[in-house]
Amino acid sequence: MEISIFEEKIKERLKKSKYYSEHNFRVKSNIGYKTVWMCKAAVIKIREQKTGTRLEIAKRFLKTFHLQKEAKFIKASHRWAKTPYTDAVIRKVLVGARAVFEECYKEGSVEIFGCCSKYIECSDRRKCVHSDIKIAEGCMYKLNLEEGRIFYGVNCNVRENSDVPKNAGRQGKQARLW
């Protein structure tokens, strides 16, 4: 199978995950190989050599891909297992891709931030509307919405001072949090 088709087939599988978003999957070209990144984890390296193409799988994902028997290690790189680029290996990678992706997603750390560009829509719908669940976990404004404190939009119910109307325009006034 051509490498570009292989990459597309992996992406097709990952798109079926409820955690998928464009920024959680990428293929980065390096000198002599490509790296398949799922979330923030390097999962697969694809090396094209004169002797043929080979896959390298991050050691921690071998079991999920069911590639323990095909894996070979060299002393110089004990974190990456070398596997042949055969139909059987490709099939196992494609079958296990979604499980590995979801494992990477769930293990990834959550970055804490105030709010994203969707804050008006979130306020108007009284809940976080971000499509990426993991990113939404880090939203501090989401916590305020869950507690019923809405700082923006038509549902604004927090006022900085008493002379500001309850729904002070489209954006409203941001309340002091301290």
Domain ranges of the chain: 3-107, 110-178
Measured distance CA(97)–CA(103) in Å, rounded: 10
Residue type at 153?
G
Fold topology of 3-107: Aspartate Aminotransferase, domain 1 (3.90.1150)
**Pairing relation of β-strands 41-49 and 52-58?**
antiparallel
Q: Are strands 52-58 and 77-84 parallel, antiparallel or unpaired?
A: antiparallel
Confidence of residue 92 (pLDDT cuts 50, 70, 90): very high
Coil, strand, or helix at residue 46?
Answer: strand
pTM over cut 0.85? no
AA letter at 54: R
- 17-70 tens-digit pLDDT: 888 888 789 999 999 899 999 988 999 999 988 888 999 999 999 999 999 999
What is the signed CA dihedral for 101, 103, 107, 110, rounded to 10 degrees? 50
Q: Among 60, 84, 81, which residue's Cα sits nearest to residue 72?
A: 81
